[in-house]
Structure 1
Amino acid sequence: MTYGEKILNYYRSLALPQNLPEGVEVLFPFAEEEVSGILEAFYTKYFSDNGRRTFLIGINPGRFGGGATGIPFTDPIRLLEELGIPNSFDPKQELSSRFIYQMINAIGGPEIFYKNFYFTSVSPLGFVKDGRNLNYYDIPALQQALEAYIVDEMRKQLAFGANPVAFSLGMGKNIEYIKKLNAKYQLFEEIIPLPHPRWVMQYRLKRLDEFIGEYVDKLRPQIKQ
C-alpha cells in the first residue's frame, strides 16, 4: 500500500470528535463527493510511493483552506493554479495557503516538497463558532475535550511513515501544546517551531522573503530525495 493509499483510507474512516463545548461546530469536508475526488487526485499524484515524510503540524484547518478543499493549507485557488486540480469551490484565498505555496515553490515545487513532507494539524478537523474560525486552543474546554482524539488521530498518521523530527507551524500556543503532548505521549524525537504562515502574512508581510527563507533553511535538511 502506498503512502497516498494509507492517507486516503485514513480520511475515509476519520471520525468526528465528541463532547465538544456548546456552540462549537466541526468542519468536515470529507463527506462531500467533490472533496473525495480531490483527495484521490492529490494523494495519488504526490504520494504514490512508500517513502517516509517529515510532518509539518498546523493548528487546525480553516474554513477557506483545508476545511473546504480537504487538503491542508491548500485553498481552492492554489488547488487549481499550483496543483492543477480543477474544482468548483468558491475561489476564496486563505492567507496561510498563499504563504505555503510560495514556500513550496522556493523549495523546488510541489513534487519535491510532497515527496518529503506531509501536512497535518494538531486536530485533523477544523472548528467554527458563530461563523468564525476557531483554534483548538481558543476555548480551554475544547482543548481539554480534544486531547484523547488528537493523540489517537496523530498516532494513526504516524503509522503512514514519519521521520523522528517534526515541525510546528506556530511558535506560540501551538508549539507549546505540541511539546506538552509530546512529553506525555512520545510522538516525535524533536519538534522544531516555525512562524505560523497566517501570522507572517497578516503582521509581517514586508518580511515575507525573510520568513520563506527561514522555512527553506530549516526544512531543506529534511529533503532526502
Structure 2
Amino acid sequence: MQGMSFAQRMKDFNRNLHLTAALPPNVGVLNPFGENKLALSCADAFYDKYYSDNKKRWPILGINPGRFGAGLTGVPFTDFKRLQQVCGIETGGASSHEPSSEFIYCMIAAMGGVDVFYKHFYINSICPLGFIILKSNGKWMNYNYYDDKALYAAVKAFIIQSIQQQIALGLYTEECFCLGKKNTAYLSVLNEEFHFFKTITELPHPRFIVQYKRKEMNAFIDVYVEKLSKRM
C-alpha cells in the first residue's frame, strides 16, 4: 500500500469487499462492486477525480449503502443524478434519485463545492456493504445492520475489520463524524473497545432530515457546516 494514492487504496478496498457470514433468513447482501460493473467504473472515476493524492481526510460514516444511492453508484451518499450533474462523472445514461444524496450535495455546495469538500472529507459507512430484506409482500427493502440483533451479530466482525481498513486508507482518527443517533450509539460502543477514534461527533442522518424535517433542511445544513468547517 506504500506509495499508492488514496484513490488507488480506495479502489482496492472496494474490490475486496466480501461478506461470507451466514445472514438471518430473507436477508441479502447489497454489494454494488460484486454485482454491478457500472458501479465499479463510476466509483473508480469518482475516486480518481477527487482522491488522487496522499492527503489524509476526516471520516464521515453513515450506516450502510442503500438500494438507490451507493447500492447503485458505488459512491456513498451519491445517486446517479448528483454523480453526473455535480461530480461530472459519466453514468452511461443511468439515472437515480436518492433523498439522502440530495441533502449531502446541498450541504457540500454550502461548504464550497465538491472540489473543496472532498479534499478534506471522506464519506462512507460503518458497514460498507448494504442489506436488503424480503418482506411478506414479496418486495425487497433496505435493511440496516442494526435492525436485527442476529444480523448485527453476524456482521460485527466484518464491521470492525472494515472500520480498521478504512482508517488505513488515510483517515484522521482525532474525530469521526457519524450520521444518525442509533448509528452513533453502535459506533460508540465499538469505539470504547477498539479505540478507532478519539472523538465521535453525531450528525443528524440525511434521510431523517429529508423525510421528516425537509422544511428545516437549511437549518440542518448549517449544523453540518458549523461542525465540519472546523476540520477544513
Q: TM-score, normalised by structure 2?
A: 0.93
Show structure 1 runs of 5+ residues with no match: none
State the distance in 2 between where 1:103 and 1:17 align: 36
State the distance in 2 between where 1:57 and 1:11 align: 16
| Contact kept? 1:137, 1:143, Cα under 8 Å | yes
Q: Is residue 2:206 matched to residue 1:197? A: yes
Alignment equivalent of 1:62, drawn from 63, 66, 74: 66
Change (3 A) 1:89 1:22: farther
2:86 match: 82
Alignment equivalent of 1:3, drawn from 6, 20, 24: 6
2:225 match: 216
State the distance in 1 between where 2:225 and 2:191 align: 24
Between 30-39 and 49-58, the greater mean CA deviation after superposition: 30-39
Q: Is residue 2:178 matched to residue 1:154? A: no
Superimposed CA distance per residue, residues 86-120 of structure 1 (whole angstroms, 9 cap, x where no aligned partner): 21465221110000000001000111111110011
Query: Residue 159 of structure 1 aligns to a residue in which SS?
Result: helix
Show structure 2 runs of 5+ residues with no match: 135-139
Alignment equivalent of 1:183, drawn from 192, 202, 206: 192
Identity, % of aligned positions: 44
Superimposed CA distance per residue, residues 191-220 of structure 1 (whole angstroms, 9 cap, x where no aligned partner): 000000010001111111000000000000
2:120 match: 116
State the distance in 2 between where 1:220 and 1:206 align: 23
Between 54-63 and 83-92, the greater mean CA deviation after superposition: 83-92
Alignment equivalent of 2:177, drawn from 164, 167, 180: 167
RMSD between aligned residues: 1.0
| Contact kept? 1:165, 1:188, Cα under 8 Å | yes
| Contact kept? 2:17, 2:129, Cα under 8 Å | no
State the distance in 1 between where 2:113 and 2:10 align: 21
State the distance in 1 between where 2:103 and 2:93 align: 20
Alignment equivalent of 1:50, drawn from 51, 54, 74: 54
Alignment equivalent of 1:27, drawn from 19, 24, 30: 30
1:91 match: 95
AA in 2 matched with 1:219: L
State the distance in 2 between where 1:13 and 1:177 align: 24
2:137 match: none
Q: TM-score, normalised by structure 1?
A: 0.96
AA in 2 matched with 1:135: N
Superimposed CA distance per residue, residues 153-203 of structure 1 (whole angstroms, 9 cap, x where no aligned partner): 110110111112110111x21111010010011100000000000100011
1:140 match: 149
Alignment equivalent of 1:14, drawn from 14, 17, 22: 17
| Contact kept? 2:15, 2:33, Cα under 8 Å | yes
State the distance in 1 between where 2:49 and 2:96 align: 24
AA in 1 matched with 2:79: D
After TM superposition, give the deviation of residue 17 of structure 1 in Å.
4.1
